[in-house]
Amino acid sequence: MLAIAVAILGAEYYVQLRKAKREYDEARGIVEDVVFSFNRKLGQEARRLETVAYKVEAVASRVGETVNGVNELRDGLGALKQSVLSDSQNVRSLIVRLSDVEKKTEEIVTSSEELQSRVAALEEQARQRRLMPDTSLEGVIPIRREKALAQLTDTETSVLELLIAEGAKTAPEIKERVKLSREHTARLMKKLYEEGYLERETGKIPFRYTVKKEMNKFLKKSESEPAPT
């Protein structure tokens, strides 16, 4: 009986031992799987860290290059600032000089205009003394009727018609109406005056021009006459 009991106990122990070994093997396999998975993840993380470290090194290198570039740019901006300040001083000096030149030019122009006005007044006074003993506005220069219309240009005719229609005007006023230059208008008015079409008031400058009364009548008479057939 004792032998049977020992055999039974031995069989049960053997069964328990095999079961324990099987459970141990299963636990060991699980642990090995966990360790393998952990090692694999650890390797992946290590590779990721290597990649990140490489990128960080690349970024650090670029940052270093950027810092160097910024320093160079800062130095360049400093030099440019100094250059701009120097140029600004030169520009201010040039502006002052130009202002002085402009003032002198204006003074010369003003003096020239005053001189021209005085010369014109002196010429008119001389002409009045030579040709016009009285102070009336009637013609200083006699009208040559045979030339009254034959030698007039379209512009000259337009000026006479303007003065007839609107009355006395100065050369600058006529210039604005006929759209000629100041010099051209001055020559035109001088010609019409010297050829006897106009009279002018010399009390102040600029002179005011009007069509002579007899010339006005003659022109109106010429306009009213029927055109030859």
> What is residue 201's predicted lDDT score, i.e. its pLDDT?
87
Domains of the chain (ranges plus CATH)?
A: 138-224 (1.10.10.10)
Number of residues that make up the chain: 229
pLDDT digits (tens, 9 = 90+) for 10-21: 777 778 878 887
Pick the more confident residue, 115 or 198. Answer: 198
Is pLDDT above 70 for 170?
A: yes
Most confident range, picked from 55-64, 85-94, 143-152, 203-212? 203-212
Among residues 170, 202, 199, the alpha carbon closest in space to that of 186 is found at 170
> What is residue 183's predicted lDDT score, i.e. its pLDDT?
92
